[in-house]
Chain A
Amino acid sequence: MPELTMTVNGKQVTGSVEGRTLLVQFLRDSLALTGTHVGCDTSQCGACVVHVDGKPVKSCTMLALQADGRDVLTIEGLAKGGELHPMQEAFRENHGLQCGFCTPGMVMASVALVQENPDPSEEEVRHGLEGNLCRCTGYQNIVKSILSAAKVMRG
Chain B
Amino acid sequence: MSVPEIGQSLPRTEDERFLTGQGNYIDDINLDGQAHAVVVRSTHAHARINAIDVAQALALDGVLLVVTPDDWKKEGFGPMPTKTAIRKGKNDMDLAEPPRHCLAMDKVRYVGEPVALVVAETAAIAIEAAELVDIDYVSLDVVVDPKKALIDGAPQLWDDIANNLCLDFELGDAAATQAAFDKADHVVTLEVFNNRVTAVPIEPRGAVASYSPETDSYLLYNATQNVHANRDTFAESVLGIEKEKLHHIAPDVGGGFGVKNGAYPEPPLILYASKRLGRAVKWINTRSESFVGDTHGRGQDSTVELALNKDGKFIALRTTTIGAIGAFCWTVGPFTPTGGSARTQGGPYGFEAMYYQAKAVFTNTHPMDPYRGAGRPEGSFQIERVVEKAARELGFDPVELRRLNLIPRDALPLKTPMGLDVDCGDFPEVFERTLKLSDRAGFDARLAASREKRLRRGFAIAPYLECTGGGPKEFAGVTFVENGTVDLAVGSQSTGMGHETAMPQILAANLGLPFDDIRYHQADTDKTPIGGGHGGSRNLEVGGSAVLQAAGEVIEKGKVLAAHIFETTPEKITFEDGAFAEPGTNHSMTMREIIDASFDPLTLPDGMEPGGLNVGSTFERGIISVPNGCHAAEVEVDPETGKINIDGYWVVDDFGTIINPMLADGQVMGGVAQGIGQALMEEAYYEEDTGQLVTGSLIDYALPRADDIPNMVLAFYEDAPTAKNPLGVKGAGEAGCCGAPPAVVNAVLDALKDYGIENISMPLTPEKVWRAIHAKG
Contacts and interface: CB of A to CB of B under 8 A. Distances in A.
A44 B20 CA distance: 22
B496 A139 contact: no
A136 B19 contact: no
Interface string B108-151: 00000000000000001000000000000000000000000000
A137 interface: yes
Contact of B19 (A103, A127, A132): A103
B703 A135 contact: yes
B15 A138 contact: no
Interface string A66-96: 0000000011101100001000100111010
Interface in A85-125: 88, 91-93, 95, 97-104, 107, 122-123, 125
B62 interface: no
Given A40-B698, A99-B202, A100-B14, 13 more contacts: A28-B28, A37-B27, A37-B203, A38-B27, A39-B287, A76-B21, A98-B670, A101-B203, A129-B707, A133-B703, A135-B200, A136-B670, A139-B669
B15 A99 contact: no
A33 B21 CA distance: 8
B15 A137 contact: no
A36 B666 contact: no
Contacts of A75: 19-21
Interface in B649-677: 662-663, 665-666, 669-674
A47 B15 CA distance: 16
B321 to A, nearest CB: 27
Task: Please name the 10 residue pairs, one residue from A and one from B, whose CB atoms are nearest each other, closest first.
Answer: A35-B21, A99-B496, A101-B254, A100-B18, A138-B673, A138-B669, A98-B496, A40-B287, A75-B21, A129-B706
Contacts of B27: 28, 34, 37-38
A128 B495 CA distance: 27
Given A39-B287, A137-B669, A88 B19 contact: yes
A45 interface: yes
A99 B706 contact: no
B406 interface: no
Contacts of A122: 711
Nearest to B700: A42
Interface string B490-509: 00000111100000000000
A57 interface: no
B670 A138 contact: yes
B711 A140 contact: yes
B370 interface: no
B403 to A, nearest CB: 28
Contact of B20 (A78, A123, A140): A78
Contacts of A142: 706
A52 to B, nearest CB: 17
Nearest to B254: A101
Query: In this complex, which of A33, A37, A132, A135 has the most chain B Cβ atoms within 10 angstroms of its Cβ?
Result: A135
A42 B22 CA distance: 25
9 contacts: A39-B203, A76-B21, A84-B20, A95-B12, A100-B19, A130-B705, A137-B666, A137-B673, A139-B704
A41 B697 contact: yes
A23 B58 CA distance: 30
A8 interface: no
A99 B20 contact: no
B222 to A, nearest CB: 16
Nearest to A93: B11
A141 interface: yes
Contact of B257 (A45, A125, A135): A135
Contact of A103 (B18, B286, B712): B18
A42 B699 contact: yes
B735 to A, nearest CB: 13
Contact of B496 (A78, A100, A129): A100
Contact of A91 (B15, B669, B670): B15
Contacts of A11: none
Interface string B264-299: 000000000000000000000011100000000000
Contacts of B18: 97, 100, 103
Contacts of A125: 706
A47 B25 CA distance: 13
B255 A99 contact: yes
A126 interface: yes
A12 to B, nearest CB: 20
Query: In this complex, which of B11, B204, B707, B736 has the most chain A Cβ atoms within 10 angstroms of its Cβ?
Result: B707
B472 interface: no
Given A34-B27, A135-B703, A139-B706, A99 B254 contact: yes
Interface string A12-51: 0000000010000000100001111111111011010000
Nearest to A87: B19
B185 interface: no
Contacts of A101: 23, 25, 201-203, 254-255, 496
B718 interface: no
Interface string B1-35: 00000000001101111111111010110000000
Contacts of A39: 202-204, 254, 287
A129 B704 CA distance: 11
B20 A139 contact: no
Contacts of A36: 21
A97 B670 contact: no
Given A36-B21, A134-B202, A135-B670, A98 B498 contact: yes
A8 B355 CA distance: 63
Contacts of B17: 100
B252 interface: yes
B253 interface: yes
Given A38-B27, A41-B287, A75-B21, A95 B706 contact: no
A143 interface: yes
A1 to B, nearest CB: 13
Contacts of B286: 40-41
A39 B704 CA distance: 15
Contacts of B663: 95
Contacts of B15: 91-92, 97, 100
A84 B663 CA distance: 21
B418 interface: no
Interface string B433-467: 00000000000000000000000000000000000
A140 B19 contact: no
A36 B18 CA distance: 11
Query: In this complex, which of B495, B498, B673, B712 has the most chain A Cβ atoms within 10 angstroms of its Cβ?
Result: B673
Given A41-B286, A42-B287, A140-B709, A79 B697 contact: no
Nearest to B673: A138
A56 to B, nearest CB: 15
A137 B670 contact: yes
Query: In this complex, which of A103, A127, A138, A140 has the most chain B Cβ atoms within 10 angstroms of its Cβ?
Result: A138
A100 B23 contact: yes
B576 to A, nearest CB: 31
Nearest to B288: A41
Contact of A126 (B25, B698, B707): B707
B20 A138 contact: no
Nearest to B711: A140
B21 A99 contact: no
A139 B709 contact: yes
A100 B674 CA distance: 17
B287 to A, nearest CB: 4
Contacts of B671: 138
A101 B704 CA distance: 17
Nearest to B29: A34
B511 interface: no
Contacts of B19: 75, 84, 88, 91-92, 97, 100, 103, 107
B199 A135 contact: yes
A35 B673 contact: no
B90 to A, nearest CB: 38
A84 B698 CA distance: 32
A44 to B, nearest CB: 4
B706 A100 contact: no
Contacts of A45: 202, 287, 698
